[in-house]
Structure 1
Amino acid sequence: MLYCLRAGRVMPMVKFCTRFFVLFWSLLLLAQRPAYAQAPCTDTPNSGACFQVYDAATRLPITALCAGQRIRLRDCSGRPLDPKKTYYRLSTATVCTFAEGDTVTTLTVPATPGNIVITQNTPNLLVPGTGIIFSRTLRVYAAPEPVFAVATCAPGFVQVSITDRSYDQFTVQLGNGTPQPATVGTTTYAVTSGTTTVTVQGSYTAASLCSAARTISFTPASTPQVPQLKQLTVSGNSIEFQWNSLQTEYKYLLEVADAASPGGFRQVANVPAASTSFTLPAATLPGCYRLRLTDACQSTGTRYVSATGCTVQLSATSADGRNELRWTTGAAATGFEITRNGTLLTRTGAGTSGTYLDKDVICGVEYTYRVAAIGSGVTSVSDSRILKTASTQIPPAPVIMASFDLRNRVELTTTAPASPGSAMVYTRRQDGTSTVVGTTSGSKLLDSLALVSVDTPPCYTAQFRDPCGNTSTASATVCPVILEATSAKDNTDAVQLRWSALNEATTATYQLQLLGPAGQVLRAQTVSGLTYNDLTPPPDRQVLRYRLEATLPDGGGRSYSNVATVTRPLRVVLPTAFTPNGDGLNDVLEIKGRFITTYRLVIQDRNGQEVFTSTSPAQRWDGRIKGATPVPGVYVYRFEAADELGQPFVQTGSVTILR
């Protein structure tokens, strides 16, 4: 018998529904299928209907469902119902239409979470031919894997952070241990050696059978080691830290001493465990810092902290050409190292402060200083201090020496140290006139004189100006020796020499030197006074070059005079006649003279024809022309040569061949 709902009651279709469903009934009969009511469906009131929901796997009664769960439905009304006439359907609302297959009592819960309505359709045994509609609304819960994370800690601990928002109750199982209740949040657990997994199961209070579990494996951390802080260097308001390699499975905190903080230290930064250096901007200065190992479980406390390194505060001042450094630090150091321009300057002893006076500096020059405190494993380097050396002291007067070089230039040399920014000012006084001849940053200057006279020798002074602008007094006056050389007026080969005194003094000793063309000393002799006559100059030297070497007593220095020269004239003598007759007397024409080195002699006959040429004294003319017997007569010659200085010499004349 099939049923339909009319006026709130389910009635046998053959008795009550004929007028309303004749056509529908005919179609159902043709199809040989049960008929379904089409009117709005509600539960039959006061029907006494009842059914229970069970988990198909555990056969336990349930009041909430899990997505995808297999359930079994069982009538609990106590009525003797025919299972073949008891229908069930799962939907989103109460239904009144059923199919033949809806008598199955084992169903699968849909995968979509939310509310679901289970409707039961059973015969009304009190009113044969009528049916009863009864429904129950149950909650369907999803069962995803719970969301959580695992963090390794020091050996013996693991941290579990449950962030799942689906379930309302959880258990945590460590390895193969017993599951223990847990809640959303972060919890640290003690674990036994060998434990490498954490399993979290989530479930619902209203649907305890609806649950899911997830397992995460972890690698236990190695035994923690004390971190090794090696160095901290201040740079402006930042500090750069350096340390040895860290253990990447742990966390590291950079801390600064703070009496108001618990434990006396305050965290200022988290340090990447993979780093060996770290720069802290806007650092607390001065300050004492340490590196602390910790883990997610906070299980290590303060057992693993590095040695403490305290910053070094450095100040620098300059006065009177000296640089003074002062420094302090917050912890006693075993010693301090002072560097200047990146180079170690000195080391000092232990303590928490110190001073150093740098005297080896040059006024006006900038220097960069740092001080490093050497501690027990930690080196603390101060910020750099750039300091320009200052002074108002007048530098000492320089010592100057004046001497001529081989090119007759006055070479001025001073002993004052040349330094960047310093200058040496040279002044020449000659014949009552003073002239600044030059300013140089070095210790040498060349002065070329257009006029040199023994009677008005040049004299020089020098003043040193340091980089701070302080100028010394003038040096002692120095006057190089001026030497003059002239040929004797009696037409002899003698040379008369006179000179001015070195530095206008009479205490110097003099050595007269005769030089070659290249400046080499050919002859030297000691002379006295301020004059000398060289009676025996070398006969083979056309140009005589003289120089005086003047030496002051007691190592006062050595100076050279200018090179004074005497050029003797080149002389050539040719006979006016010769007799090439073979008697052995005056048979050839030969050249005689002095200072002749290279020449050219050309002889021509009266027709202007060239009859003889000679370029060497060994080439003498015997009067023959092309081997023929000499022809008496007058011949003209032209003699060309150059002296030692390269000046041309030309002489012409005639020579007669006699029988």
Structure 2
Amino acid sequence: MLLSRNRLLPLLFCWAYLVINTLPVRSQSVCDRATQGGGFTAPARACLSGPVTVVNTVATLTNVGYVFEYDGKPLASGQQFSQSTKWTYSKPGSYTILQVGSSGGTNAVACKVIDVLPVKPVAYSVVVCPGRKATLTYALDAETARYDKITINWGDGLPPTEVPLSGNTGSFIAPVHTYPGPGNPVINVVGSYLGACVGPANPKQVLVQNIPAPAVSIAELTSSATSVALKYGSSAGAVVTLYQRDGSGNYNPTGQTATSTGSGVFTINGVPSTNVNCFQVGVQDACGGTELRSAGVCSIPVSVSPGDKQNTVTWPVYGGTDPIRIYRINSNGSPVGSRPSSAPFVDAANIQCGVNYCYDVSLRLDNNTGTMVYSAPVCVVGINNEPPKPPIKAFVSVEADGVKLQASLTATAPSTYTLLITRADGPGGPFTPLAQVSADRSYTDKTANSATQGYCYRTAIQNNCGITSDYTAPACTVHLTTPDNNALTWTAFSPFSGSAVAGYQVIKIDPTTGLSDKIDVGSNTRWEPDPNQTDTQTYTYQIVAYDINGVESYSNPILVLLAPKLFMPDAFSPNGDSNNDAFMAKGAFWDTFSMTIYSRWGDVVFNTTDPKSTGWSGLLSNGSPAPMGYYPYRVEIKDLKGQTYVRTGRVLLIR
């Protein structure tokens, strides 16, 4: 159903039936038949903001109806028409208006095309410049670019500025306007269509006052190998231009410009850091006033010459406009010196062979902004023909996974180095190369069999140029043995290179509980366990050697198995006096026990396998007392490790 934008229209059923059925039935637009008796006026262009009015121009035409958005399709039964002569369109575009009616009993048709135009505020911004000048920038999109012109009312009573449009989109600048005096005028910019309508207003109030001339300065110039980054500061809204000095000393535009927001950065590529590159920035207000220029600021090309134990940094006399305040020299990112002038700087602070040194120079200018200039870094490899200092000391200690060696380096040791390690079976050598460790002071010798022998180690430092220091004195592991299965003995060679052992301690570890004791034995290299201990047959022992600073070095651990203890009396007197009334074995570390007593003729008199038995009470197997005399015996025991021990002898029975 076609609806008016203003009200619902009645249907002309009878009239529509007459018109539709008298028109030829063809699949074509009614407008293709040309005008047949109808006629009306309508604007060729109209704005979207208001209604479109049509006026019938045929006085004899009756039953007049309209289709304001005719789609060109054939009319169908039930087609609806509007009797209203006003219509409001909802969106811009090109539309066909169809008029139908009857005249003298004959149907009448007429068509017109109307272009409905968009209406939209024109976007714009205003910048007020020194001298009470104002520049206006307007932006046109696909809709506002259709206006025939824009009209700028500056709000000061002076004639408005009219700018014809060409249909192009984009950002455009209107002619500069000069206000006769300060104030707060309200600017209005509207678009209009010739002979059609005017778009909506978009008023903005601006402040017109005495504005100072724009300022500009260079805050920082930073060079890299092939480019320069230039930070500048300027008045917001001003147009900033970059200039570069040529070989004749003239500053020429580089083609780089920017509208300032208060600060910004220009990047200039293709300028090698080995050249002196000088720049200026110019600033001009948005209204086209006189351009102002900053002082010229130049880069600092740096060169570095390596020498034995020193690097010399040089740069030319500064070529910019402002005087310098101070030069600062950095090495690998850290400050190493400063200069009030461009005199060479010599870095002789612990220059190491083969190490990469990168230098850069920064300059602070003596101006109001304290402009900073940073050179590109220049790198060289250090030269130092002096052998490095050997490690101060080293010590070794036996650990579960091998022999650990730890070296201590001097304060002047190279930052990158190789630790060389040699090994021998004794302090007198021969020492053979064992390992090389990069940038580490510790090493674990996992090939050492510390349970069977001791080892001695020496260490040295090699710098990046392959120059090697002297070797340290030997550091030898403490090797622990038990030559007679009771006494502990260990080697006396020091595990601390260049220093003696201050003392030793014996560590006694119970393998069942893991508990340990430390026994200080002074400077002795031999120690015997308590022969009377009966609590545990096996212990793990280890020796700790320590120096005057309390640094500890451990020996190889060793398991000591104490022999079973067995005591047999030579005689006994079973007389009932509760003193030595039975012949019995006493001792420790037994697992199984067997004792047999024989007669002088070899007959078994008594036998027991109970280690806690009360022994032989002097009775024969028939229960009668055995006569006085000697009786042979045999005792067999197994200790806690399963080792068998046998003792034979004879005992005297006394009555």
If the TM-score is normalised by the length of the shorter chain, which range does it land in? Answer: 0.5 to 0.7
The residue identity in structure 2 corresponding to 1:325 is V
Change (3 A) 1:558 1:478: farther
The residue identity in structure 2 corresponding to 1:269 is Q
Give the match for residue 395 of structure 1.
388
Q: In structure 1, how many angstroms separate the alpha carbons of the residues matched to 2:558 and 2:503? A: 13
- 1:162-241 alignment to 2 at 5 Å? 174-179=154-159, 187-191=175-179, 192-193=181-182, 194-197=184-187, 219=206, 223=211, 226-227=215-216, 229-241=218-230
- Displacement of 1:292: 3.9
- 1:482-493 alignment to 2 at 5 Å? none
Q: Is the 8 A contact 1:481 1:548 kept in 2?
A: no
- Displacement of 1:157: 0.8
Q: In structure 1, how many angstroms separate the alpha carbons of the residues matched to 2:387 and 2:225? A: 36
Q: In structure 2, how many angstroms separate the alpha carbons of the residues matched to 1:496 and 1:181? A: 113
Q: Is the 8 A contact 2:564 2:590 kept in 1?
A: no
- 1:347-496 alignment to 2 at 5 Å? 347-351=337-341, 355-357=345-347, 359-375=349-365, 376-398=369-391, 401=394, 403=396, 405=398, 409=403, 411=405, 413=407, 415=409, 417=413, 419-426=415-422, 428=424, 433-441=430-438, 442-446=440-444, 461-472=458-469, 474-475=470-471, 478=474, 480=476
2:577 aligned to which of 563, 579, 583 = 583
1:282 aligned to which of 269, 272, 279 = 269
Give the match for residue 136 of structure 1.
none
The residue identity in structure 2 corresponding to 1:157 is K
Mapped pair 1:315 → 2:303: yes
Change (3 A) 1:543 1:272: same
The residue identity in structure 1 corresponding to 2:474 is V
- Displacement of 1:196: 4.6
Secondary structure of 1:584's aligned partner: coil
Per-residue displacement from partner, 1:604-627 (whole Å, max 9, x unpaired)?
Answer: 9999xx98766xxxx664789xxx
Q: In structure 2, how many angstroms separate the alpha carbons of the residues matched to 1:467 and 1:487? A: 48
Change (3 A) 1:228 1:592: farther
Mapped pair 1:154 → 2:113: no
The residue identity in structure 1 corresponding to 2:257 is N
Q: Is the 8 A contact 2:393 2:497 kept in 1?
A: no
The answer for unaligned runs of 5 or more in structure 1 is 1-66, 69-146, 163-169, 625-629
Change (3 A) 1:326 1:592: farther
Q: In structure 2, how many angstroms separate the alpha carbons of the residues matched to 1:523 and 1:251? A: 87
The residue identity in structure 1 corresponding to 2:433 is V
- Displacement of 1:154: 0.9
The residue identity in structure 2 corresponding to 1:359 is A
Q: In structure 1, how many angstroms separate the alpha carbons of the residues matched to 2:309 and 2:474? A: 30
Q: In structure 1, how many angstroms separate the alpha carbons of the residues matched to 2:563 and 2:388? A: 57
Q: In structure 2, how many angstroms separate the alpha carbons of the residues matched to 1:496 and 1:348? A: 64
Change (3 A) 1:299 1:550: closer
- Displacement of 1:547: 6.0
- Displacement of 1:152: 3.1
Per-residue displacement from partner, 1:46-85 (whole Å, max 9, x unpaired)?
Answer: xxxxxxxxxxxxxxxxxxxxx99xxxxxxxxxxxxxxxxx
Aligned residues: 476
Higher Cα radius of gyration: 1
Q: Is the 8 A contact 2:308 2:383 kept in 1?
A: yes
Q: In structure 1, how many angstroms separate the alpha carbons of the residues matched to 2:592 and 2:625? A: 20
- Displacement of 1:466: 0.9
Q: In structure 2, how many angstroms separate the alpha carbons of the residues matched to 1:356 and 1:550? A: 46
Q: Is the 8 A contact 1:333 1:352 kept in 2?
A: no
Q: Is the 8 A contact 2:568 2:586 kept in 1?
A: no
**Identity value in percent:** 15
Q: Is the 8 A contact 2:221 2:299 kept in 1?
A: yes
Per-residue displacement from partner, 1:214-239 (whole Å, max 9, x unpaired)?
Answer: 99866458846635644332223222
Q: In structure 2, how many angstroms separate the alpha carbons of the residues matched to 1:410 and 1:150? A: 78
Per-residue displacement from partner, 1:347-403 (whole Å, max 9, x unpaired)?
Answer: 524345652516245432334443322334322222233443344444345555465
Q: In structure 1, how many angstroms separate the alpha carbons of the residues matched to 2:457 and 2:519? A: 31
The residue identity in structure 2 corresponding to 1:250 is A
- Displacement of 1:280: 1.3
Per-residue displacement from partner, 1:97-141 (whole Å, max 9, x unpaired)?
Answer: xxxxxxxxxxxxxxxxxxxxxxxxxxxxxxxxxxxxxxxxxxxxx
Give the match for residue 271 of structure 1.
258
The two structures, once aligned, show a CA RMSD in angstroms of 6.3
Per-residue displacement from partner, 1:165-215 (whole Å, max 9, x unpaired)?
Answer: xxxxx999753444499999975442132345488999x9xxxx9xx9999
TM-score of the aligned structures, taking structure 2 as reference length = 0.53
Change (3 A) 1:411 1:510: same
- Displacement of 1:270: 1.0
Change (3 A) 1:579 1:651: farther
Q: In structure 2, how many angstroms separate the alpha carbons of the residues matched to 1:253 and 1:657? A: 127
Q: Is the 8 A contact 2:478 2:543 kept in 1?
A: no
Change (3 A) 1:600 1:413: same
- 1:500-515 alignment to 2 at 5 Å? 513-515=504-506
1:255 aligned to which of 210, 227, 243 = 243
1:523 aligned to which of 520, 524, 544 = 520
Give the match for residue 14 of structure 1.
none
The residue identity in structure 1 corresponding to 2:381 is K
Change (3 A) 1:221 1:484: same
